[in-house]
Amino acid sequence: MDSLFINSLLEDLKSPEESVREQATQKLWRIWFQQKGIHGLEVIDRSQKLMDAGKIAEAESVLNELINNQPDFAEAWNRRAFLYYTTGQYKKSLMDCQKVIDLIPVHFGALHGMGLCYAATGEYQKAIKAFRRALEIQPFSIVNQKLILECTMRLS
Report whether 48 contacts 79 (CB < 8 A): yes
- What pLDDT score does 156 carry? 81
pTM of the model: 0.94
Beta-carbon contacts of residue 91 (< 8 Å; ≥ 6 apart): 117
Terminal-residue alpha carbon distance, the chain? 43
Taking the alpha carbons of 67, 29, 139, 81 in that order, is the dihedral positive or negative?
negative
- What pLDDT score does 102 carry? 98
- What pLDDT score does 1 carry? 55
- What pLDDT score does 123 carry? 98
Residue type, 124: Y
Per-residue model confidence as pLDDT tens for the chain (156 residues):
568 899 999 999 999 999 999 999 999 999 999 999 999 999 999 999 999 999 999 999 999 999 999 999 999 999 999 999 999 999 999 999 999 999 999 999 999 999 999 999 999 999 999 999 999 999 999 999 999 999 999 998
